[in-house]
Structure formats: C-alpha cells, structure tokens
Amino acid sequence: MALFQVLASSPESSTLNKETGEVTVSYLPQAHGDHVHIGGFVISGQEASGFSNEAVWRALDRKGLITSHFPVQATLSKEGLAYDTGFRDQFEQSDH
C-alpha cells in the first residue's frame, strides 16, 4: 500500500479525480536488477513484488483501499491515500 501511495503522489504515475478525491495509478515501474525506482526512491525488487501479485491487489480492494484493475492500474480511495502503513519514512532517495 505504501508503494501505491508513493506512486499516487506523483503526477508522472497517477491522475487525480478532482470530483472524488481518488487517485488512479496507471504507471507501475518494472524492476531492473535487484531494485525498482519509484519516484525519487529506490525500493528492493523483493519489496515491490506485490505489484505482480493479484492476491495483494484483491486484499487491498476488499479493504476499500483501492479499486483494482489488476495488473494495469489501481485507483486509491481517499481512505487508501490516508492509510498509515508505517513505512513512508523508510524509503531511500535515489542518486541514480
């Protein structure tokens, strides 16, 4: 969920619906080597494996945090955007 939130915060990977406050993430980064670039962050490819796991998307959908359009895009609800994952401060800025 934290990675979806990071993607939702970037206009390069998402679109805000001003009427609903929901954000659709339509760009999902692909791993190269052992990592993935998400915005200005570098994430372990293993930590980003949920992007390719339909069960993860379904669980987030059931909880009302996203509307899943697996594997292409996800729309984050207001609740999903505000959800405290406890991981936001653990991302490292990329220098490459």
In this predicted structure, what is the pLDDT of residue 88? Answer: 67
In this predicted structure, what is the pLDDT of residue 69? Answer: 97
**Please, what is the average pLDDT of the chain?**
90
93 part of a folded domain: no
CA distance 17 to 76: 10
Host domain of residue 31: 2-87
Helices (H), 1-96: 2-8, 54-62, 78-82
71 part of a folded domain: yes
Q: Residues 6 or more apart from 91 whose CB is under 8 A from it?
A: 2, 6, 38, 41, 43
Tokens for 6, please give them.
């990071």
Check which CATH number belongs to the domain holding 79 and give it: 1.10.10
Q: Among 8, 13, 27, 9, which residue's Cα sits nearest to residue 66?
A: 8
10 part of a folded domain: yes
Percent of the chain with pLDDT over 70: 91
Tokens for 61, please give them.
């959908």
In this predicted structure, what is the pLDDT of residue 66? Answer: 98
pLDDT at 91 over 70: no
pLDDT in tens, 1-29: 999 999 999 899 999 999 999 999 999 98
In the chain, the number of structural domains is 1
